[in-house]
């Protein structure tokens, strides 16, 4: 994960730590290289700029440059700024944005609405969350696919449901998304499910019809969580997709999939600053237990090796 970025930053900071004393110019030179590394990692330009400004301002302070090991101190400042950029608190670095914090304490069935583009990993993530909700939260979840556009989408969720032993709403051919959502709520209520996961339809691109459908489903199901699933491998595109959704539906968070294959990290690093939404989970593989609460502290540790 984030290997390219990690290697690049490692090179810059090894040089910095190798020196005894540091001058302001050394820090500025290093920051120029960090800026390039961030842009090559597909971090959004304003985010990279803000990051470099924040680090430079703290690192060129006299106290840092006069410290016993100034290189180490600069790396610590970079680490803390990475945590902040990822949406975390450097004073509580291992805190997660979700996991334990999924909003599940409401009148059951608590509805979690999953939204995203086709191929982002939405259906897989829905099943992963169903399993996680049972295993980590001890709650009973049901899943329903509202995807009437893609052939076999509803069947796909049913198959995944069997694999993780999570109930899925029986398929009724020809029913439209809002009606499926209503039926799912009724069914979950009657069968005493704690949580209902609604896997909404994806599209190839963000379009007006998709947004209208999201809004209609959201109105009838009043979800406590609206989670956007985006593919981290698409870098800034993932962030732009998230921005478009943010303007239309009340997202409560983002799930970044395919983090296992993301050598760059641009999506993760830009998401919070550009959209204002927390990354709640990271998808880390195709297996149905490959999902982790997104912990800014751990991710920053990984980036800095
Ligand atoms: P959807 O069209 O958004 O519902 O996407 P799917 O859930 O069908 O996922 C598309 C493909 O991505 C499948 O082959 C999944 O196994 C794969 N996938 C989903 N999440 C991850 C992840 O976090 N890591 C990896 N490596 N593959 C994933």
Q: What is the pTM of this model?
A: 0.94
Q: Cite the annotated binding site by residue number.
A: 116-123, 199-203, 257-260
Share of the chain above pLDDT 90, in %: 77
Peptide bond into 238 cis (omega under 30): no
Atom 11 of ligand 1, nearest CA residue: 121
User: pLDDT at position 188, please?
Assistant: 98
pLDDT digit string (tens) for 265-281? 999 999 999 899 999 99
Q: Give Cβ neighbours of residue 220 (< 8 Å, ≥ 6 apart).
A: 178, 181, 182, 185
Segment 117-128 shows an average pLDDT of 96
Q: What would the 3-class secondary structure string for 166-189 be?
A: CEECCCCCCCCHHHHHHHHHHHHH
Q: Cite the annotated binding site for GTP by residue number.
A: 116-123, 199-203, 257-260
Segment 28-57 shows an average pLDDT of 95
User: pLDDT at position 98, please?
Assistant: 46
Nearest to 272 by CA among 114, 100, 82: 82
CA of 254 to the centre of ligand 1 (A): 15
Q: How confident is the model at residue 99 (pLDDT cuts 50, 70, 90)?
A: very low
Q: How confident is the model at residue 30 (pLDDT cuts 50, 70, 90)?
A: very high
Is the pLDDT at 31 greater than 80, yes or no?
Answer: yes
User: pLDDT at position 43, please?
Assistant: 95
Q: How confident is the model at residue 204 (pLDDT cuts 50, 70, 90)?
A: confident
Is the pLDDT at 100 greater than 70, yes or no?
Answer: no
User: pLDDT at position 96, please?
Assistant: 59
Between these two residues, 282 and 207, which has the higher pLDDT value? Answer: 282
Which segments within the chain are labelled E, that is strand? Answer: 110-116, 141-145, 167-168, 195-199, 225-231, 253-257, 279-283, 291-293
pLDDT digit string (tens) for 240-271? 999 989 888 889 999 999 999 999 999 999 99
CA of 163 to the centre of ligand 1 (A): 15
Q: Which atom of ligand 1 is nearest to the CA of 126?
A: 7
Mean pLDDT of the chain: 92
Query: Coil, helix or strand for 1?
Result: coil
Atom 9 of ligand 1, nearest CA residue: 121
The ipTM, to two decimals, is 0.99
> Residues lining ligand 1, CB < 6 A?
116, 118-124, 202, 257-258, 260-261, 283-286, 290
User: pLDDT at position 149, please?
Assistant: 86
User: pLDDT at position 101, please?
Assistant: 65
Structure tokens at 41: 């990692």
Q: By the 8 A CB rule, do 34 and 59 touch?
A: no
pLDDT digit string (tens) for 178-197? 999 999 999 999 999 999 99
69/284 Cα distance (integer angstroms): 36
CA of 289 to the centre of ligand 1 (A): 13
Share of the chain above pLDDT 70, in %: 97
213/298 Cα distance (integer angstroms): 36
Q: Which atom of ligand 1 is nearest to the CA of 290?
A: 23
Alpha carbon distances (Å) from 180 to 76, 159, 168, 209: 51, 18, 12, 17
DSSP 208-231: HHHHHHHHHHHHHH--SEEEEEEE
For ligand 1, pick from 147, 260, 267, 286 the residue to mutate: most ligand atoms within 8 Å of CB. Answer: 286
Q: Which atom of ligand 1 is nearest to the CA of 153?
A: 4
Taking residue 139's Cβ as centre, other Cβ atoms within 10 Å add up to 17
Structure tokens at 45: 């330009």
């Amino acid at each position: 994960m984030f290997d390219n970025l990690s290697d690049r930053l490692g090179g810059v900071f090894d040089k910095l730590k190798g020196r005894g004393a540091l001058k302001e110019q050394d820090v500025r030179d290093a920051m120029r290289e960090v800026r390039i590394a961030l842009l090559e990692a597909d971090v959004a330009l304003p985010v990279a700029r803000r990051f470099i400004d924040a680090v430079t301002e703290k690192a060129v302070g006299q106290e840092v440059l006069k410290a016993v090991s100034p290189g180490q101190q600069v790396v610590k400042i970079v680490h803390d700024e990475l945590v902040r950029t990822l949406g975390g608190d450097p004073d509580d670095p291992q805190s997660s944005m979700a996991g334990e914090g999924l909003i599940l304490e409401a009148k059951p069935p608590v509805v979690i609405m999953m939204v995203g583009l086709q191929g982002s990993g939405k259906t897989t993530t829905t099943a992963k969350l169903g399993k996680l909700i049972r295993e980590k939260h001890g709650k009973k979840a049901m899943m329903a696919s509202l995807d009437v556009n893609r052939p076999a989408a509803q069947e796909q969720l049913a198959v995944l449901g069997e694999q993780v032993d999570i109930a899925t709403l029986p398929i009724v051919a020809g029913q439209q998304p809002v009606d499926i959502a209503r039926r799912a709520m009724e069914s979950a209520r009657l069968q005493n499910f704690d949580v209902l996961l609604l896997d909404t339809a994806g599209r190839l691109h963000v379009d007006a019809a998709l947004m209208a459908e999201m809004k209609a489903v959201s109105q009838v199901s009043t979800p406590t969580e609206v989670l956007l699933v985006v593919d981290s491998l698409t870098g800034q595109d993932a962030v732009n997709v998230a921005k478009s959704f943010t303007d239309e539906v009340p997202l409560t968070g983002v799930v970044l999939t395919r983090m296992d294959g993301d050598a760059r990290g641009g999506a993760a690093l830009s998401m919070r600053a550009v959209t204002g939404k927390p990354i709640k989970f990271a998808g880390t593989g195709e297996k149905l237990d490959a999902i982790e609460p997104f912990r800014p502290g751990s991710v920053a540790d990984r980036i800095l090796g």
